[in-house]
Amino acid sequence: MDAWRFAIVSDIHIGTQRSFRFQAAWNANWQTVRQQIIDQQPEFLLVCGDMTRDGLYHRFELEQSKADLDALPFPYYAVPGNHDAGNKFSDADSSISAETVALYQSVFGTSNYSICHKNIRISVFNSLLAGSGLAEEGAMWSWLDSQVPDLESDHHLWMTHAPIYLDYFSEANKDPNDHAWYFSIDEPHRSRIFNALKASAADILFSGHIHDRRQTEHDGILFQSCPSSAFQAAFDYDGEHSSELGFMMLTVTKESCKSEFIPLAETSTLTSYGPGGNPPKALRDYSIAQEKPALDPVEQRRPE
């Protein structure tokens, strides 16, 4: 089989000026990367989550990001991020819930699925459900545990939003009172996910969320954290990794899947408004929206 290519990007964070916050530069950076990806003529695009700034709170943002991706001249496959379907846990009205998962899936479709393309299989799951106790978590585990090696494919690639570890597999669980709780998946869920990947003969797990491009390996599986197109991580890792903005192209042959990073061609300096972090409902001030009427925070949709 001739070599062929696909693209992968994460954390594109498209927002809207009708929201209580808006980062014009993130939208502009995505439009730049979007054209760069089109210019590469990939066979498809993987998006590792956080398609929106705040789709979690606004149906319209989910619909806006989906419309943008639907207009690409090739297929794309996405997985929900915490900004699209909720944090693994949070004290600020931002946790994943049956409602947030249902809202996401009503726009983007199922969160757990597989597709096959040429000689690869790609399997997708929402790691942010792990430990939530939701019925949707049970469905996610059932789906993960049922995956087996695909004898028709040369490579089994996986995708989720939150990485199952940051630096090394046996690292300690994160303290829920430390900001680091946010970034990765704790035990026992980490091992359960890993065992499911292993049982399915996984080659690579792609993830996003930390806005930091890094590749590690554990027991024969590559863990590839993918770059964001929107903004760089606010924290600094060691020099082996890079939070440089951009996307990756994967070249697939029978023997290998090799990645190449392509940096964002031009970083926007457009300005923004509104709070960062995960503000509670009481601090989401829609009166400052730059486009009126503002989004309806109750109906989670754009007013008519």
Q: Check if the beta carbon of residue 50 is closer than 8 Å to that of residue 81.
A: yes
Report in angstroms how near the CB of residue 252 gets to Fe ion at its nearest.
26
Number of residues that bind Fe ion (CB under 5 A): 5
Kindly write down the DSSP assignment for every residue of 192-250, as one continuous string: HHHHHHHHTT--EEEE-SS--BEEEEETTEEEEEPPBSS---SS---TTSB---EEEEE
CB of 51 vs Fe ion, minimal distance in Å? 10
Q: Which is nearer to Fe ion, 42 or 80 (CB)?
A: 80
Does residue 170 sit in helix, strand or coil?
coil
Q: How far is the CB of 234 from Fe ion (least distance, A)?
A: 11
Q: How far is the CB of 278 from Fe ion (least distance, A)?
A: 11
Inter-residue long-range contacts of 86-89, CB under 8 Å, 24+ positions, other chains counted: 86/56, 86/128, 87/128, 87/182, 87/278, 88/127, 88/128, 88/129, 88/130, 88/131, 88/132, 88/162, 88/181, 88/182, 88/185, 89/131, 89/132, 89/176, 89/181
Site string for Fe ion, 208-237 (x = CB under 5 A): -x----------------------------
How far apart CA 102 and CA 110 sit, in angstroms, is 9
Q: Which residue lies nearer to Fe ion by CB, 11 or 203?
A: 11
- For the bound state, the minimum distance from the C-beta of residue 171 to Fe ion, rounded and expressed in Å, comes to 19
Burial of 5 (0-12, 13-18, 19+ CB in 10 A): middle
**80 counts as binding Fe ion under rule CB under 5 A:** no
The window from 5-13, 61-69, 126-134, 175-183 that contacts Fe ion (CB under 5 A) reads 5-13
Nearer to Fe ion, 31 or 119 (CB): 31
Helices H / strands E in the chain, number of each: 6, 13
Candidates 11, 54, 84, 212; binder of Fe ion (CB under 5 A) is: 11
Stretch that binds Fe ion, among 106-114, 146-154, 204-212, 243-251 (CB under 5 A): 204-212
Q: Where are the beta strands (DSSP E) in 53-154?
A: 76-78, 113-117, 120-124
Q: To the nearest whole angstrom, how small is the minimum distance from the Cβ of residue 83 to Fe ion?
A: 6
The stretch near Fe ion (CB under 5 A) out of 4-12, 52-60, 89-97, 212-220 is 4-12
**At closest approach, how far in Å is the CB of 290 from Fe ion?**
22
Residue closer to Fe ion by CB (options 184, 200) is 184
Identified binder of Fe ion from the candidate list 27, 29, 65, 82, rule CB under 5 A: 82
Long-range pairs for 27-31: beta carbons < 8 A, 24 or more residues apart: 28/268, 28/270, 29/229, 29/230, 29/231, 29/245, 29/264, 29/267, 29/268, 30/68, 30/229, 30/230
Nearest approach, Cβ of residue 81 and Fe ion (Å): 4
Whose Cβ is closer to Fe ion: residue 200's or residue 229's?
A: 229
Determine the interface stretch with Fe ion among 123-131, 146-154, 205-213, 264-272 (rule: CB under 5 A): 205-213
Residues 14-53 touching Fe ion, rule: CB under 5 A, are 50
From CA 197, how far away is CA 16, in angstroms rounded?
36
Q: Which of 81, 86, 163, 246 binds Fe ion (CB under 5 A)?
A: 81
- Least distance (Å) from Fe ion to the CB of residue 210? 8
The site for Fe ion (CB under 5 A) is made up of: 11, 50, 81-82, 209
